Structure 1
Amino acid sequence: MVTISDIAGRLEGGGHRLDLRVYFEDTDFSGVVYHARYLHFLERGRSDFLRLKGIGHRELMAGGFGAPMAFAVRRMEIDFLRPARIDDVLTVLTTTRQLGGARVLLDQKILRAEEVLVEANVKVAVISPEGKPMRMPQRVLEVLAPGV
């Protein structure tokens, strides 16, 4: 039986590590990863980081941490340093840089072995189901604190 921890990566060093393989569907005609696919890889890293920290998206929307809420990417800076190619095994690293009352700043990297291919700085807003900004519940703040 497969468990969440088998497919969701692992928490380590205060952050999260997710290993994945590049498939044909991720590439352009030349076998190089299409730039927009990196957004998918980064999203998987963020989602599994939250999941392993005990913060599931469904539970957030159901009000499991107080009022119903969600996370929405508000801003993202991405540096594409080197290309990934078909069949590469990549690692997505995600760490919390800073927490605010209604936002989380995350640092993410995509590596092939020890080589950094992509660096991203992500600002995530906490929003209500209606899309309005809201304060992050204390329990979520504690779980996402840098280094926890």
Structure 2
Amino acid sequence: MTTTDLAGTLDGDGHRLDVRVYFEDTDFSGVVYHARYLHFLERGRSDFLRLKGIGHRELMDGAFGAPMAFAVRRMEIDYLRPARIDDILTVITRTRQLGGARVLLDQTIRRGDDILIEANVKIAVISLDGKPMRMPKKVLEVLAPGLGVG
């Protein structure tokens, strides 16, 4: 098994990551605690970047120009249905829009055909001292919607 085997798959214009719900993700009734969905969404975003060739470590080391990072600036979440212990969920991440210093992502969490969570995420591009910065051209090209898997 390689580390990319753990990172889900790219599919056309987005990314899919399967996650299992463990006891630690749930409240006393076996339903996923609302804040745990943030963990699942973060894993989806991180692995989406990783498979696109944009690892967090490389961003911080300056592999794309100046050292940088992505930070969640805003997130809107609709909790539509609950997940429960032992469910297998699929986190889907798609780039909706890119700007000079931001990325807008659409994320969903599904259990089979059922949509459980819909999230719109605004990501800021920042320098390592926390100041906004423009996204390097290479990163923009890789994240642009409609580029496909390659």
Alpha-carbon distance, 1:88 to partner: 0.3
Measure, in 2, the Cα distance between the counterparts of 1:115 and 1:3: 30
For residue 73 of structure 2, what is the aligned residue in structure 1? Answer: 74
Q: Gaps (5+ residues) in structure 2?
A: none
**TM-aligned CA deviation for residue 39 of structure 1:** 0.1
Give, in whole Å, the separation in 1 of the partners of 2:125 and 2:133.
6
**Alignment partners' CA distance in 2, 1:4 and 1:113:** 25
Unaligned runs of 5+ in 1: none
Q: Distance in 1 between matches of 2:12 and 2:74?
A: 25
The residue number in structure 1 matching 2:27 is 28
C-alpha separation in 1, matches of 2:12 and 2:59: 25
> Per-residue deviation at 1:136?
0.1
TM-score by length of 2: 0.97
Query: Cα distance, 1:5 vs. partner?
Result: 1.9
What is the root-mean-square deviation in Å for CA atoms of aligned residues?
Answer: 0.5
Query: Counterpart amino acid of 1:10?
Result: T
Question: Equivalences for 1:1-148 in 2 at 5 Å?
Answer: 2-148=1-147
CA deviations on 1:15-48 (whole Å, 9 max, x unpaired) are 0000010000000000000000000000000000
Residue 83 of structure 2 aligns with an amino acid whose one-letter code is A
Give 3-state SS (helix, strand or coil) of 1:135's partner: coil
TM-score of the pair, normalised by structure 1: 0.98
Could you say what secondary structure the match of 2:131 adopts?
coil
Identical aligned residues as a percent: 82
The one-letter code sitting in structure 2 at the alignment partner of 1:61 is: M
Distance in 1 of aligned mates of 2:12 and 2:76? 23
Q: Secondary structure at the match of 2:76?
A: strand
How far apart, in 1, do the equivalents of 2:100 and 2:5 lie?
Answer: 32
What's the offset of the Cα at 1:13? Answer: 2.2
SS in 2 for 1:28: coil
Q: For residue 48 of structure 1, what is the amino acid of its counterpart? A: D
1:129 and 1:119 mapped to 2: Cα distance?
Answer: 30
